[in-house]
Structure 1
Amino acid sequence: MNIIESNIANLPTRYGKFKIKAYKDGHQEHLAIMSQDFENLEAPYVRIHSECLTGDTLGSLKCDCQSQLDLSLKFIAKNGGLVIYHRQEGRNIGLVNKVNAYALQDNGRNTIEANLELGFAEDERDYRVVGYIFENLKIKKLKLITNNPEKLKYVESLGVEIVERIPAIIKSNKYNEAYLSTKKEKMGHLI
């Protein structure tokens, strides 16, 4: 991996004051969003948040992404830790293909069926940069904020100790009920 790193900068937000550091891996740029006390934490709370422009920025009700990011940033601001903003849009199929997947979902496909119909695996994400960020920030143990069993497996495969798993449970709505059901029943999410 040929990663380019930024310096650490301050980032005051509506959630609290953070520090940020950017990592560039090929054409993708990722963020580490750290609480002010991050360096002093032996086992920080960590959220690996996969980018979702439609949810995170536009407030889409078709997913739970913005709600999970909001929950995580509030939690980290209060309790200390790190949010890794993992820039792999649409489970790493890109924005154009994600919108195409939305169109297929509008016609009755679930998220997995839509990805498969477009010629992708159900989840194309590559977490290697997360491993690099953990190493760079000297994370040996953590408390992982996730519902995704694949993220748990990946973190464990790095030899990073998961002290605790914190669920990121949000309220469903009429637009994301099928999406959340697919995540739970077909992808094994712990919701």
Structure 2
Amino acid sequence: MTNPLLNSPLRFVAACRLPTQWGEFTMHGFEDTRSGQEHVALTMGNIDDGAPVLGRVHSECLTGDALFSRRCDCGPQLEAAMKAVQAAGRGVIVYLRQEGRGIGLINKIRAYQLQDQGLDTVEANVALGLPVDARDFVLAKHILDYLHIHALRLMTNNPQKVDTLNAVGIQVVERVPLHVGQNQDNARYLQTKVAKMGHFVN
């Protein structure tokens, strides 16, 4: 059988059982041979039968996913996605190590400092001479190819994810809204995503 990653910058490393409070997943590990950066995918149930799979492409957010920051909605979105996969009994979560929309953790802290002074998320990145969004969602296509997933019911509010995956051959047959985690500390952050980055509001 042809290796789905043959012409990909990613290589599959290993897979293991991952029991969580939202059920038991299989965690698949991948390494980017160009940078050494590591990514994972969590899967549950039969995902390679050709039918569209409920899934999320989630970018790493240490502050939101692990430190419970209220400055964003990332942690609640990840939890909601894992719960949704559990409820469906079948699904995938691609977890890309692209902290701070790809600018890295330390630059994210620098951007947060500027936001504390009144800039929004876009303005802060621009003030630092950084991209507004440096993430590479094509990496998700390589991981999904390896998992033999070619059609998704994608949990996202981000049109860029939908457009990118469709453009590279992963058919997004349905966009599943994921509006969770809103609070007074991230109200401006969420407003900026809608006003300046075109995120869906429903």
Matched, 1:156 2:163: no
Q: Which moved more, 1:30-39 or 1:81-90?
A: 30-39
- Cα distance per residue 1:120-155 (max 9 Å; x no partner): 121011123111112111122110100001001101
Structure-to-structure mapping, 1:88-103, within 5 angstroms: 88-103=98-113
Q: Which amino acid aligns with 1:8?
A: A
Q: Is the 8 A contact 1:17 1:36 kept in 2?
A: no
Equivalent residue, structure 1, for 2:46 = 37
Change (3 A) 1:171 1:55: closer
Count residues in correspondence.
191
Q: Which amino acid aligns with 2:109?
A: V
Q: In 2, Cα distance between the equivalents of 1:14 and 1:123?
A: 31
Q: Which moved more, 1:81-90 or 1:22-31?
A: 22-31
Q: Which moved more, 1:113-122 or 1:95-104?
A: 113-122
Offset at 1:158?
Answer: 1.3
Please point out which of 112, 118, 132 is paired with 1:122.
132
Please point out which of 78, 83, 91 is paired with 1:74.
83
Offset at 1:39?
Answer: 3.2
Q: In 2, Cα distance between the equivalents of 1:129 and 1:112?
A: 23
Q: Which moved more, 1:152-161 or 1:3-12?
A: 3-12
Runs of 4+ in 1 over 3 A off after TM superposition: none
SS at match of 1:159: coil
Equivalent residue, structure 2, for 1:185 = 195
Matched, 1:85 2:95: yes
Q: Is the 8 A contact 1:105 1:111 kept in 2?
A: yes
Q: Is the 8 A contact 1:28 1:88 kept in 2?
A: no
Structure-to-structure mapping, 1:106-145, within 5 angstroms: 106-145=116-155
Q: In 1, Cα distance between the equivalents of 2:55 and 2:116?
A: 33
Equivalent residue, structure 1, for 2:18 = 11
CA RMSD in angstroms, aligned pairs only: 1.2
Q: In 2, Cα distance between the equivalents of 1:72 and 1:41?
A: 21
Unaligned runs of 5+ in 1: none
Equivalent residue, structure 1, for 2:60 = 51
Q: Is the 8 A contact 1:147 1:189 kept in 2?
A: yes
TM-score (structure 2 length as normaliser): 0.91
SS at match of 2:48: helix
Q: Is the 8 A contact 1:33 1:84 kept in 2?
A: yes
- Cα distance per residue 1:80-137 (max 9 Å; x no partner): 1100011100001000000000000000000000111111121011123111112111
SS at match of 1:179: helix
Q: Which amino acid aligns with 1:29?
A: E
Q: Which amino acid aligns with 1:184?
A: V
Q: In 2, Cα distance between the equivalents of 1:37 and 1:77?
A: 12
Change (3 A) 1:81 1:72: same
